[in-house]
Amino acid sequence: MRPIKISDSEWQVMTLIWEKAPLPASEVVAALGKQKKWHPRTIRTLLDRLVKKQALLAILEGNRYLYQPLVSMEASVRQESRSFLQRVFGGESTAMLLHLVDDAELSKEDIKRLRAILAEKEK
């Protein structure tokens, strides 16, 4: 499947649907209207865009549409990560990892997990 570019606003819609799919448009509008203070028309436009991008499937049930994702959150995160890596670090994953680790507040448990991952990579 081809990569799908999802805007920041569309990501908000997708996150809600990934968590609670299938979801009727009315619930998406109610939830994001309350959380983000977005106008219902804006939310419906975002839903339409995501259907056109083939990120969402709209299923007609009675007189309403139910939305469910056509792409997984994991695949979308992977795509966004690769795009970020390419744009910001020129595709150099080591440079990105070093920057993130150096800049992060890490607990002892986080450090332990990182060491375990690195030890596994050395095998």
Cis peptide before 40 (omega within 30 of 0): no
Question: What would the DSSP string read from start to end of 92-120?
Answer: -HHHHHHHHHHHS---HHHHHHHHHHHHH
Task: Provide the whole-model pTM.
Answer: 0.80
φ and ψ of 69, to 5 deg: -70, 145
The pLDDT, as a whole number, for residue 98 is 92
The pLDDT, as a whole number, for residue 25 is 95
Q: What is the pLDDT of residues 54-82, one digit of tens each?
A: 999 999 999 999 999 999 999 999 999 99
On the question of pLDDT at 3 being above 90, the answer is no
